[in-house]
Structure formats: structure tokens, C-alpha cells
Amino acid sequence: MARVIIIGDGPGGLSAGLFLARGGHQAEVFGQDKTAMHYAFLNNYLGVPAVSGTDFQRAARRQALEAGATLRDVAVTRVGAGADGVEATLESGETATGHYLILSEGKNPVLARSLGLAETATGAVQVDAEGRSSHPRVYVVGRSARPTRSQAIISAGDGAKAALDILAREAGKDLQDWDRPPQG
Ligand SMILES: Cc1cc2nc3c(=O)[nH]c(=O)nc-3n(C[C@H](O)[C@H](O)[C@H](O)COP(=O)(O)OP(=O)(O)OC[C@H]3O[C@@H](n4cnc5c(N)ncnc54)[C@H](O)[C@@H]3O)c2cc1C
């Protein structure tokens, strides 16, 4: 089982936490529910009828929790290398260690920048199609990687992509999280 530190509790971070927890990994999501979603009213999240960003977040947090992710109401002040790969220092001074780090910090990717990750010509954190950054164990998803093209559904998709990439790396083969309707 991999331990994954996820920083940011908007759609990107919660989606990553949901998929990783459903895949049997330990997903710890750090954030204080200060997402931009609280300013949004969603009319464009496919398959979801019009909903306030706050109600969306409430449902998303519950879904991630029920899947087994841990939500920690605390800010992270520093990230770096750790015994198992990566480490996060919390406001309290406590540290959390993990095998992978997913950064979903939103519009101010301070921690991503502190790692010196490669950036695009326009100043976004540079990632590949799976959300992998220039650091082999660090993913950057959502608004941090596309600051001028930010949509909730894209951040959620980015989080899911990064999670599936970690599931595949751990399993040594591609995996998908597919369910069928209950029978009977
Ligand atoms: C007024 C407004 C209206 C919008 N309307 C829409 C809309 O109609 N439809 C739509 O699709 N999108 C809309 N958006 C955009 C939408 O809110 C974003 O696309 C979405 O929130 C991005 O999700 P994210 O997970 O990438 O980042 P965010 O939602 O920004 O989440 C980042 C989270 O990380 C946390 N964080 C950052 N650093 C740390 C740290 N060091 N430690 C702990 N936590 C940390 C932040 O506090 C935040 O909670 C709107 C945005 C605004 C401002």
C-alpha cells in the first residue's frame, strides 16, 4: 500500500484522494476548505445539476471520506524529500511522510515553486498528461498546472488521472476504477 500526501482540498485534491482510497492506498488530503469553489455556482459540471460550489464541496468531501481518504484540516508549510520519498511539514511542526506527493494548491502553487519544479513559459507548473512534474514522485494537478484555464471538472479529472497513474505504478500495470450497477 502506498502512502500519498495530497495537498489541497478543492476538486483536484479530493478527486485524487477518492481514487487512491478506492484503489486501496492511504490517501491523506491536507486543506482547510478554503477552495475557490466557495465563490462558484456550477452550471457546467457535466452530469451534475446546477449546484453551489459549497454544496458540491460538501458532497465531494463526504464521498472522499466514505471511500477511506483522510481529510486533515491543517495547512502544510513545507515539502521536500523524506525517508519514503516525500515529506510534508504541517503548521503544527508535525511531519507527514509518503511515497508520493500530489500538489493541488490552486492558483498559488507556493509549495510546487519551493521544490523548483519546471515551469512553462507562462509560469504554470509543467506537467505531463498524467500530472507528473519534473520530480519523479511529485504530481501537480488542477488550477496550479493551468491557471488561466481553470474549471472544476478539469481539476477533478486531473486528480483522477494522477491517482490512476500512481495505481498503475504501484501495480505494475494499468488499472481502471470501474463499477457496475448493483444487481437485483
Ligand atoms: C468566482 C468564481 C466562480 C467560479 N465559477 C466556476 C464555474 O461556474 N464552473 C467551474 O468549473 N469553475 C468555476 N470556478 C473555478 C473553480 O473554482 C476552480 O476551477 C476550482 O476550484 C479549481 O480546483 P483546484 O482543486 O484545482 O483548486 P482549488 O479549488 O483552488 O483548491 C486548492 C485548495 O488547496 C488549498 N491549499 C493551498 N495550499 C495549501 C497548503 N499549503 N496547505 C493546505 N492546503 C492548501 C487551498 O486552500 C484550496 O482549498 C470559479 C471560480 C471563482 C473564483
Question: Digits of tens for pLDDT over the chain (184 positions)?
Answer: 999 999 999 999 999 999 999 999 999 999 999 999 999 999 999 999 999 999 999 999 999 999 999 999 999 999 999 889 999 999 999 999 999 999 999 999 999 999 999 999 888 999 999 999 999 999 999 999 999 999 999 999 999 999 999 999 999 999 999 999 999 8
Distance CA 98, CA 32 (A): 20
Q: Which of 9, 58, 101 to mutate to test the pocket of ligand 1 (most atoms within 8 A of CB)?
A: 9
Count of CB atoms situated within 10 Å of the CB of 109: 25
- The answer to whether 175 and 140 are in contact (CB under 8 A) is no
Q: Classify burial at 39, counting beta carbons within 10 Å of its beta carbon; exposed 0-12, middle 13-18, buried 19 or more.
A: exposed
Q: Does ligand 1 come within 6 angstroms of the Cβ of 149?
A: no
155 CB near ligand 1 (under 6 Å): yes
Cα–Cα distances in angstroms (integers) from residue 138 to residues 22, 111, 121, in the given order: 20, 11, 20
